[in-house]
Structure 1
Amino acid sequence: QRYDEAWREDPQSVMARPLYVVAEKILGHGEILPRTWPVDGTSGYDFLNLVNGLFVDGANAKTFEGIYSTFIKQRTNFNELVLAKKRQIMLISLASEINVLARQLSRLAERNRNVRDFTINSLTFALREVIASFPVYRTYIADGNITPSDVQYIEAAVASTKRRTPVTDPSIFDFIRDVLLLRYPGTADEEDRRLQQDWVQKFQQVTGPVMAKGLEDTAFYIYNRLISLNEVGGEPQHFGTSVAEFHKANLERRRSWPHAMLTLSTHDTKRSADVRARINALSELPKEWKSALTRWSRLNSRHRSKVEGRSAPDRNEEYLFYQTLLGMWPRKALDAAEHAALVERIQEYMRKALKEAKVNTSWVNPNEAWDAAVSNFVSRALADTPQNAFLADFKQLAARLAQLGVYNALAQSVIELTVPGVPDIYQGNEAWDFSLVDPDNRRPVPYTRNREMLNELDAQLNNAESDPAAYVRSLVTQQDDGGIKLLLVAQTLRFRREQPELFAEGEYVPLETTGNLANHVVGFARRLNDAEVLVVAPRLLARIVTDDNAPIGDVWSGTSLLVPAAETGTTYLNLFTHERVQVDNSVRGTGLPLAAVFGNCPIAVLVKSTQ
């Protein structure tokens, strides 16, 4: 009872939340978690998509749209696709739920003489259209209480529906709007009000599943422009996140939800963070991608089959296949057994992706001939033989993306551990993890291997004769076994453990960069009293990193991280390399030269020296 009383007085007080509770809530575009909820924040999908977009080159959005539409030979409007797939779900998978809602709505209409002439068919149609237009998963009207956000979403859905259906009497949509907003007829008695409120509760329980099944479980498997954006809580039509947007969101989280969970991968994500990191790098290479698509499709044309007069896989499925390969192809050479296991994983992924898309096959109505044709295409395209020209060609671009993906993955991992919030690392993701959607991401985790690798990393760093900077540099260059990621994650987590107040309560300060590579860096500070840590990470590195060169050292000459609050001569200790870097006077004020910050490691956590 005292917790309830504390919640009514201040939902954000400690007494109102005796336990750490987060809501697995998918926020729509512009949606804000209600401050009245007695939770510490969401489970982190909003952060996942925020940081994911930071490594997508937004300048290439139209170019990628052109490449995609040209290859699949049609233009796809994502918003229209989502509407169509939500309708499909309501007509098939959730038809009974919609019919029940419509019948109950019809009974409400019968109790109101002004609207009792609406037929069950017209109400069912109107109801489906309003639900399809819903901009968020659901509203949270309860006990007669309606928030301004609830009103906004309902009004937006109804207005959008009216624009799309000009031949339908708009009064039927007004009726649904008024019912949802609990605008009772003048003749309504207590029973009428109760029935209307009950209907609103049932309506709210339906919009979420329709959105989840229509968007995440269908449209995300069809719209393949850049599949790293097709993530739970994501908006594939928005191509990238600016540094300014990134900082704004972190400042808001620190102000409103400082203990919200932060995640990069979960049991539910469509692909792991490390897979997305590689595919994000593809957004920087439109020319290479376009050229590769043309070559690969030509080389693999002989592997397609005719099913009912159509080529299997279709162009869109083939487009998905190539991106998926680029995201998860191993850097190291595989033996025959490993190669066979990898091919089987890809076959299983494609099988699920195609059935979820519900275009040429589905779980409910499987097209076994199509499924077999696509599985055969995968097997033949990936045949590990000297005659396979596609695989040899493919591995060249795969190696380039794997290289760039390393830096994206390291950057997003360190960012997750240092921005406001509580980081959550999905099993095994402290080292490299190139998993796809479940069940692929439920495979056994190599805990023993990771533990042994961490022990070896610690032993090397603690060796009195070792040179930490040189050792870290060698890990950055080597990359394959995941040691560099494991080291950076472990060192950052250990520092968090030593400075819990700094990360739980410290302010978040966006930092600017200056110089010719300023747009390729994101930096921020966490400060509490005299404690300060700077976090600096690179982004969009395709034009900086060439061949096997890491983005370290002199490549950053002329670019500085501005630290306005620091005095000239202030020293910072690099958490990873144990090097010291000193503030100097840059063109625009006091700053740190990135050639020194990134001298041996392309990501830096810099701890202000007290000496």
Structure 2
Amino acid sequence: MTTPEDGSGQPQRRATYRVQLRAEFDFAATAAQADYLAELGISHVYCSPYTQAAAGSTHGYDVVDATRISDDLGGENGHRAMTDTLRAHGLSQLLDIVPNHMSIADPRNRWWWDVLADGQGSPYASFFDIDWEVDEPRLRHRILLPVLDDQIGRVLEDGLIRLVSEQGALLVAYHDNRYPLSVETTAELLAAAREPRVVEVVAMVAQLPMGADELSRRERFTARHAVGESVARVLDATVAGPAVEALLSEINLDVGALDRILNEQHHRLARWKTAVEEVNYRRFFDINNLVALRMEDPEVFAESTALIAQLVHSGDVDGLRVDHIDGLRRPIQYAQRLRDTTTPSTWLLAEKILEHDEQPPPWALDGTSGYDFLAAVNGIFVDRAGHEALVAIHEEITGQPSGFRSFALDGKREILRTTLVSDVERLTGLLATICDAYPAQRDHTHSEIREAIVELVAAVPVYRTYIDPRTPPPSEVDAARIRRAARAAHGNAPEVDERLLDFIADLFVLGEAKDIVTAEEDMHLAQNDLVLRLQQLCAATTAKGVEDTACYRHLVLVSLNEVGDSPAHFGLELTDFHARNERTQEARPLALLATSTHDTKRSEDVRCRLDLLSEVPEEWGAAVHRWMAMNSALRRQGLVDSAMEYLLYQTLVGAWPLSPDRAVTYMDKAAHEAKRQTSWLQPDEAYDAALRAFVTAVLADPRFVADLEGFVNTLVDWGRVNSLGTTLLKLSSPGIPDIYQGCELWDLSLVDPDNRRPVDYQLRRSLLAAGRGRSAAAAWEADRDSGAAKLLLVRDALALRVRRPEAFDARGAYTPMRAEGDFSDDVIAFIRGVPAAVIAIAQRRSLTRRGQWGDTMIPLPNGDWRNLCDGATVSRGARLADLLADFPVALLERAG
């Protein structure tokens, strides 16, 4: 697309702007903002997935056809027009892709539909991670579909399942959902209608190929579709059509006949709750409508990636962000295939959650999507001195201990024993088979094996390891993690057999098998399968057990309860922040730097305000106690627990002003994710109603609202100071800054759906236009509420990246600076470029400092420096009191 100033032939990767595409904000709407984004300084529009998603999708991660551009967003013509418009404004694309799973909620997923129709005979049966050989006889060689609201017998009695003739086919109907009948059943039903025209169909079905090899499946697929065309002609016939309709009406009144037909299909309809224990396809986490793909299969990879590769090779897309790469069976193999399928220079990123000090695996990618930066930059604004006091407040109010690791362990265990139990059972059966081949491990009960798996997986300290039996040996780091996890598991649950844990760990790290009584290839395949599936389970367990459970229970300071961050690490030293940036500059200069995303639980501005509570824990504790006393009469029958009330107050402080509707929606989701009093799996309607009523009543009390606003007003401007610091550090640190839609202004959003509300681009356009020729400092002085100061800081920092690309890209350098004076620890500063070309200076502990810097100063390199935030020129030693007098941060460019 556009050629950068350095003449490399590749688009200059300067900054991304994430847009959430949906029917209400489609390709045309995105194209309409191209001129605004270009003026802001963006280089890449970072698009949510836009291959065909399920009907009504609001995010694009529920793909039903990876070979087509989404019709709902404008189709190929709309995409072409958007791409051309972006190109005309010098903008490239970074595209989010979804290799891990597909949606099965829409019949337009023709791969899945074909598997439902023909089971293992379908050429697409191998595309999905389905266990066809389950122990349960009624599910063997069939797919469980947990879609019914009640047990199937009751649903049949109520007449909610019917056979219908629609769109030239015979289908199973349940409410608005449709499921295919096998061609054999279709032929049987047409024959029962006793119409001469069906003879051809019956004959064609009798001649269908029945082989299990790939060629036979492909031939059968072609023949089945010919049958389908004949069926459509029969059903459209004026004579046969009514006869078939009459037969279907008769069957729909006969529960026994209908049940017999359903039992003959390659799928089995069941109550939704059966998924917990019996679902026999791997899901995206615990979402029944999202089935996992076998992306390790070259054919699946090729068919799923063909369109994406075409977009890259055509120049329409410059980069790809891989969603949930940790869910794949072989992530490192996938990354290499993606690199080989695209180009050596394609910008490849992965959504990868790194734990504290964890480094990415050695894969053929350019970096992560930036959650590690989010955690680091947030950490430097959290005051460790406030930790003890906030812990005391949390324990007093909630009655819970405050060690996050115990919350995380409990959350993982709970998820493994509830929503992910079907995955655990699959591994339990697999490991039991393996144990039988080792005399020393034989005779373990399924219960013992199950608990060993639960405890070991729960003890793994990272999202997953990257051990692949095809490429032994495992890294020393991964092997050590698994060995430590086995020891930790025994310490956490001494009742679990330590030798069994060690045995699993030995298999996990590809240790030499000892005392095995069979060397059959099947046993080695089973062991390899165990290793790969355990790692996939680890990723799902951490996501659901920590992010979506523990982070809604542990409430010491909820600004830390974030994707990629962890309450286990309360604050970050400046030296650690600098070390992280130095590693990025050296190893991953194209990694994204994120502060808000579509998945974050709170926007950057909410976190920046909440971080201030670590500076004033005493004032915060006093306010919470006032509010709890004030609202004590509103707690209905004592149902609303103190933990949820404490979360409500932090939420209101962080996101105020917050409407009652938004507050209720957030708290309802938070309570269900916490899974203490209510959950998605087992909702407590009385508790849910009480919580909603409590939130509504609290926000209807003018006395409380006035007190809340009084407290929030003491934080607002200092939270904005933190936000400007966060923004500057993101825009000037090693890596590529990412701006989530709308966050170029103040944005006080909570978890989805709150962070996916429409963005007011007209407001942003008008503020950007009004800011031409104006500094961020002038905007800060004139109107702090509008957010124009943040917008203009983004504009000026990105313009600097255009002028001095060599200071920020892989050719540049990162040099930490150290302030001098009484408050030197509260200044974050560094130099970019060789020789020094840019200096970024931000402050922390803003509420504590309140602009009082005493003799603190920054020793600048020789020469004159222009502050892009206010236009002033400085040289040599710069006093913080002067440098930050008019604006909370400074961005210095060498003059001349």
Alignment TM-score, normalising by the size of structure 2: 0.60
Q: Does 1:170 align with 2:498?
A: yes
1:326-361 Cα distance to aligned partner (Å, 9 max, x none): 11113xxxxxxxx7xx11000100000000001111
Q: Does the Cα contact within 8 Å between 2:721 and 2:888 map onto a contact in 1? A: yes
Where structure 2 has 5 or more consecutive residues not aligned to the other structure, the ranges are 1-312, 314-333
Partner of 1:108: 434
- For residues 720 and 382 of structure 2, what CA distance do their matches in structure 1 show? 14
1:506 to 812, 837, 848: 812
- For residues 424 and 271 of structure 1, what CA distance do their matches in structure 2 show? 16
- Counterpart secondary structure, 1:21: strand
- Counterpart secondary structure, 2:572: coil
Shift, 1:500, TM fit = 1.5
Q: Which amino acid is 1:536 matched to?
A: I
Correspondence list, 1:121-200, <5 A: 121-142=447-468, 143-145=470-472, 146-186=474-514, 187=516, 188-200=519-531
Shift, 1:474, TM fit = 5.4
- For residues 348 and 573 of structure 1, what CA distance do their matches in structure 2 show? 47
Partner of 1:542: 847
Partner of 1:587: none
Shift, 1:473, TM fit = 4.3
Q: Does 1:44 align with 2:370?
A: yes
Partner of 2:694: 377
After superposition, the Cα gap between the structure-2 partners of 1:81 and 1:383, relative to the gap in structure 1 and judged at 3 Å, is: same
Shift, 1:144, TM fit = 4.0
- Counterpart secondary structure, 1:93: coil
2:873 to 580, 586, 609: 580
Q: Which amino acid is 1:56 matched to?
A: V
- For residues 12 and 367 of structure 1, what CA distance do their matches in structure 2 show? 48
Could you say which structure has the greater relative contact order, defined with CA pairs below 8 angstroms and 6 or more residues apart? 1
- Counterpart secondary structure, 1:398: helix
Shift, 1:442, TM fit = 0.5
Q: Which amino acid is 2:354 matched to?
A: L
- For residues 313 and 8 of structure 1, what CA distance do their matches in structure 2 show? 47
- Counterpart secondary structure, 2:355: coil
Q: Which amino acid is 1:60 matched to?
A: G
2:667 to 333, 347, 350: 350
Correspondence list, 1:456-471, <5 A: 456-458=770-772, 461=774
Partner of 1:236: 567
Q: Does 1:607 align with 2:884?
A: no
Moved more, 235-244 or 591-600: 591-600
- Counterpart secondary structure, 1:542: helix
Partner of 1:219: 550
Q: Does 1:571 align with 2:868?
A: no
- Counterpart secondary structure, 2:440: coil
Correspondence list, 1:467-478, <5 A: 472-473=777-778, 475-476=780-781, 478=783
Q: Which amino acid is 2:661 matched to?
A: E
The count of aligned residue pairs is 556
- For residues 389 and 568 of structure 2, what CA distance do their matches in structure 1 show? 13
Shift, 1:289, TM fit = 0.4
- For residues 793 and 366 of structure 2, what CA distance do their matches in structure 1 show? 27
Correspondence list, 1:195-274, <5 A: 195-274=526-605
- Counterpart secondary structure, 2:833: strand
Correspondence list, 1:302-317, <5 A: 302-306=633-637, 311-317=638-644
1:517-569 Cα distance to aligned partner (Å, 9 max, x none): 2122111110224x511110010111222xxxxx3xxx334110123xx23xx
- For residues 620 and 601 of structure 2, what CA distance do their matches in structure 1 show? 22
Shift, 1:476, TM fit = 4.1
Partner of 1:588: none
- For residues 476 and 279 of structure 1, what CA distance do their matches in structure 2 show? 24
Partner of 2:703: 389
Q: Which amino acid is 2:717 matched to?
A: Q
Q: Does 1:25 align with 2:352?
A: yes
Q: Which amino acid is 2:649 matched to?
A: Y
Q: Does the Cα contact within 8 Å between 2:389 and 2:618 map onto a contact in 1? A: no
Shift, 1:165, TM fit = 2.7
1:473-500 Cα distance to aligned partner (Å, 9 max, x none): 4524631111111111111111112212
Where structure 1 has 5 or more consecutive residues not aligned to the other structure, the ranges are 331-338, 462-467, 546-550, 584-590
Q: Does the Cα contact within 8 Å between 1:144 and 1:197 map onto a contact in 2? A: no
1:403-440 Cα distance to aligned partner (Å, 9 max, x none): 21000000000110000001110101111111000000
Q: Does 1:368 align with 2:688?
A: no
Q: Does the Cα contact within 8 Å between 1:17 and 1:39 map onto a contact in 2? A: no
Q: Which amino acid is 1:318 matched to?
A: E
After superposition, the Cα gap between the structure-2 partners of 1:167 and 1:88, relative to the gap in structure 1 and judged at 3 Å, is: closer
1:556 to 845, 853, 856: 853
- For residues 455 and 513 of structure 1, what CA distance do their matches in structure 2 show? 36
Q: Does the Cα contact within 8 Å between 1:16 and 1:38 map onto a contact in 2? A: no
After superposition, the Cα gap between the structure-2 partners of 1:29 and 1:594, relative to the gap in structure 1 and judged at 3 Å, is: closer
- For residues 278 and 492 of structure 1, what CA distance do their matches in structure 2 show? 23
Q: Which amino acid is 1:125 matched to?
A: E
Q: Does the Cα contact within 8 Å between 1:184 and 1:193 map onto a contact in 2? A: no
After superposition, the Cα gap between the structure-2 partners of 1:453 and 1:477, relative to the gap in structure 1 and judged at 3 Å, is: closer
Shift, 1:516, TM fit = 1.8
- For residues 391 and 90 of structure 1, what CA distance do their matches in structure 2 show? 41
- For residues 172 and 541 of structure 1, what CA distance do their matches in structure 2 show? 53
Shift, 1:447, TM fit = 1.1
- For residues 885 and 584 of structure 2, what CA distance do their matches in structure 1 show? 32
Partner of 1:464: none
Q: Does 1:327 align with 2:654?
A: yes
- For residues 474 and 123 of structure 1, what CA distance do their matches in structure 2 show? 63
Shift, 1:8, TM fit = 12
- Counterpart secondary structure, 1:63: helix
1:100-119 Cα distance to aligned partner (Å, 9 max, x none): 10100000111122211222
Q: Does 1:522 align with 2:815?
A: no
Moved more, 107-116 or 448-457: 107-116
- Counterpart secondary structure, 2:837: strand
Partner of 2:615: 284
Q: Does 1:429 align with 2:743?
A: yes
- For residues 653 and 719 of structure 2, what CA distance do their matches in structure 1 show? 10
Q: Which amino acid is 1:198 matched to?
A: D
Partner of 1:586: none
Q: Does the Cα contact within 8 Å between 1:581 and 1:596 map onto a contact in 2? A: no
- Counterpart secondary structure, 1:535: strand
- For residues 527 and 258 of structure 1, what CA distance do their matches in structure 2 show? 13
Shift, 1:81, TM fit = 1.6
Partner of 1:335: none
Shift, 1:192, TM fit = 2.5
1:30-81 Cα distance to aligned partner (Å, 9 max, x none): 32112x2111111000000000011000111111101111122332332112
Partner of 1:410: 724
- Counterpart secondary structure, 2:828: strand
- Counterpart secondary structure, 1:31: coil
- For residues 483 and 73 of structure 1, what CA distance do their matches in structure 2 show? 43
- Counterpart secondary structure, 1:26: coil
Moved more, 58-67 or 185-194: 185-194
- For residues 508 and 60 of structure 1, what CA distance do their matches in structure 2 show? 31
After superposition, the Cα gap between the structure-2 partners of 1:604 and 1:298, relative to the gap in structure 1 and judged at 3 Å, is: same
Q: Which amino acid is 1:605 matched to?
A: L
Provide the aligned C-alpha RMSD in A. 2.1
Partner of 1:594: 880
- Counterpart secondary structure, 2:891: strand
Moved more, 598-607 or 165-174: 165-174
Shift, 1:194, TM fit = 2.2
- For residues 853 and 403 of structure 2, what CA distance do their matches in structure 1 show? 40
Q: Which has the larger radius of gyration?
A: 2
Alignment TM-score, normalising by the size of structure 1: 0.88
